Amino acid sequence: MANHFRRKAGSFFSSRGKKVNNRERLYKMLFYYVKAGVVNIVQAAEVVYPLFGIKRRGDWLEDLRGKIPEAEYHFLKSSRDSGKLEDGLKNLYQHVEKMGKTKKEFLLSIFFPAIEVIFAVGIFIFIMMYVVPKFSELVTAFGGELPGISKAVFSAGKFLLDFFPLIIIFLLLSGWYLSRNWEYVLSLFPFMRRISLLYEKVLLFESLGFAYASGFNLHQAFSNIHLHLFDLSSVRDSIMNGESFHHALAPYLMPHEIAMLQAGEATGSLDEVLPWLAEMTRDELFSRLKKLSDAVVPIITIVLGSLVFLVLISIYLPLMGIATRL
């Protein structure tokens, strides 16, 4: 956890200005202006940059540095230097669009089970805060005695009611932290860590495929890809020491993935193999997410039903005691 916070702090202090959020739209607009032949790239930057809060200071490309990932900056620089800027902008916005789509689908697949959990927890908290205290007052008014289970449940309900504002603040802060560090939080849960690893593997294959097809060598590609669960620095060092691509990545891959990479290296077709691996891994990722979503509903039903049954027992036991005495 300490390494996580140090990494976050380091990336914060090393950043150069505010990042562009909608990079896909930025690259697409630059591409359309240049492709239409109405303006050149410098004139396009003069028109487009203010829409994204980017100040023009000098070279149009240097103005983007620190506002976009280093890998994308170097790709644009390579495209400009090779005279293929139009194709570079088109390939870049398509790549960013594809990566964004993968992330959106992944988060949506997790979002719906999370909503079901939150809804169930909300119902239970409502029962504990508003229903249970009313019965507690009723039992006290009739002079009834509370059994141990009722005392525990009623005390829990009173605690939630007394500290409700603090609980709301805690939930809001937790939601804010989760929205900014969801990759790290998911990795803390063993059953979600495997899914998170699959998600990052999709990003890895997609990024490597894009970098390889764009003319980057493997060392440059790994230097500009940043993931949370994979230690790519060790992979980069292994490649620098002369190890093959598939051997350097072997600790993170399945046997069939290693075999495909090895075949791609041998035949010189990594630009085709990497997108295939990304697609195969994406299919496996969303297949597991569907199974997770299908399992959440019955689990929530069982857990919520058990908790509600516990509350009902704690309510009816003292009421039955009062009825018997009367």
Listed by start position, the domains of the chain span: 2-68, 96-326
| pTM of the full structure | 0.65
Alpha carbons within 13 angstroms on the beta-carbon side of residue 146 total 19
Separation between Cα atoms, residue 270 and residue 6, nearest integer Å = 35
Q: How far is CA 91 from the centre of its chain?
A: 24
pLDDT attached to residue 177: 83
Q: Residue 240 has which token pair?
A: 């620098």
- pLDDT in 10s for each residue of the chain, 326 residues: 444 433 433 332 233 346 788 888 899 888 888 887 666 888 888 888 988 888 888 888 889 888 888 778 878 887 888 788 888 888 888 888 888 888 888 877 777 777 777 777 777 777 777 777 777 677 666 665 666 777 777 777 777 777 878 888 887 888 788 777 777 777 777 777 888 888 888 888 888 887 777 666 666 667 667 777 777 777 777 877 878 878 888 888 888 888 888 888 888 888 788 888 888 988 888 888 888 777 777 887 788 778 778 777 777 777 776 666 65
CA gap 253, 241 in Å, rounded: 20
- Number of residues in the chain: 326
Tokens of 110: 């997790």
Cβ distance 60 to 41 under 8 Å? yes
Instruction: State the amino acid at position 220 in one-letter form.
Output: Q
Query: For residues 313 and 306, is the Cβ–Cβ distance under 8 A?
Result: no
